């Protein structure tokens, strides 16, 4: 049996406060930094916008594949708080692609039992983008077969800073009791609070950094970097990343499982 699939009882929890949150088997929650659209377009002497459009098709394929592979939660990075530094035409393209993706795929996702959530700062988004987001969330709110979380105008630091503000207010008002103060209580104020713990972060295109994605949640996630450019991505790449995940032994700061078993 691969280490990641070992039953919980055999793992060494030590003093890990999140021990009971661990998935009993393979990955439940996978996040993807969908990177490389620009380089994909450049290689073909196409405008970057066509790279982003091809990236949406890759997202559609990958979401279908994720549900078929039995994943419960997927969080994808669609637009970062730093992406506002791109040219206005590119930003406009990314905004309209989000709208088009939701418009074209919402009915199918809804019928397949997917719940859509969008995380990230909403106040900077235009009313038409907000309307599409709110409509998609509302229409799928009773679904729970598959959870698709889209990080859009999302930054890990901004999310933590905003959560800290709400946390401080909740402590001041007594909504969080003094004896509750700690990691677990704080985590409930993050935009990702409703999902299971993050198991795996995938980044495509060969870059090896988080670029401000899910900083808190990444604490004990496994990281898999794949050289494929995002528009070329699909279920076969996701499957390969999950196989890599399953070959890892997650220790959470504890001792190596086989050493502990040998020591009795």
**In the set 36, 65, 155, 195, which binds ligand IPE (CB under 6 A)?**
36
Please tell me the distance from the alpha carbon of residue 23 to that of residue 163, in angstroms, as a whole number.
Answer: 25
77 binds, among ligand IPE, Mg ion, none (CB under 5 to 8 A by kind): ligand IPE
Rounded CA-CA distance 52/79 in Å is 11
Q: Helical H runs in 112-187?
A: 127-139, 156-173, 183-187
Judged by beta carbon distances under 5 to 8 A according to partner kind, the member of ligand IPE, Mg ion, none in contact with residue 204 is: none
Query: Quick check: 44 and 213 in contact, CB under 8 A?
Result: no
Binding mask 165-204 for ligand IPE (x = CB under 6 A): ----------------------------------------
Distances (CA, A) of 153 to 68, 96, 121: 28, 14, 6
User: Catalytic residue numbers?
Assistant: 35, 83
Q: Which stretch binds ligand IPE (CB under 6 A): 11-19, 73-81, 99-107, 255-263?
A: 73-81
Contact residue for ligand IPE among 37, 81, 149, 153 (CB under 6 A): 37
**Nearest to ligand IPE of 80, 140 (CB atom):** 80
Sequence-ordered list of residues with C-beta below 8 angstroms from that of 229, at least 6 positions apart, any chain? 35, 36, 37, 39, 40, 43, 204, 205
Q: Residue 50 or 106: which CB sits closer to ligand IPE? A: 50
């Amino acid at each position: 049996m691969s280490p990641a699939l070992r039953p919980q009882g055999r793992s060494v929890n030590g003093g890990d406060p999140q021990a009971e949150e661990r998935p009993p088997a393979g990955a439940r929650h996978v996040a993807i930094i969908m990177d490389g659209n620009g380089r994909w377009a450049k290689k073909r002497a196409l405008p970057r916008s066509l790279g982003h459009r091809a990236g949406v098709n890759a997202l559609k394929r990958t979401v279908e594949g994720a549900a078929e592979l039995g994943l419960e939660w997927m969080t994808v990075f669609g637009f970062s708080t730093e992406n506002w530094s791109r040219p206005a035409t590119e930003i406009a393209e990314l905004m309209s692609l989000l709208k088009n993706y939701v418009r074209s795929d919402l009915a199918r996702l809804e019928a397949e039992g997917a719940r859509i959530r969008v995380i990230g700062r909403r106040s900077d988004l235009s009313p038409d983008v907000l309307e599409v987001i709110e409509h998609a969330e509302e229409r799928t709110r009773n679904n729970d077969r598959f959870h698709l979380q889209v990080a859009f105008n999302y930054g890990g630091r901004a999310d933590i800073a905003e959560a800290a503000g709400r946390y401080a207010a909740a402590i001041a008002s007594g909504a969080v009791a003094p004896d509750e103060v700690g990691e677990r209580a704080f985590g409930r104020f993050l935009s990702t609070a409703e999902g299971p713990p993050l198991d795996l972060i995938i980044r495509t295109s060969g870059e090896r950094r988080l670029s401000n994605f899910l900083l808190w949640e990444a604490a004990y996630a496994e990281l898999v970097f794949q050289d494929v450019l995002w528009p070329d991505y699909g279920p076969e790449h996701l499957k390969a990343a999950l196989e890599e995940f399953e070959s890892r032994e997650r220790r959470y700061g504890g001792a190596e499982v086989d050493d502990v078993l040998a020591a009795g």
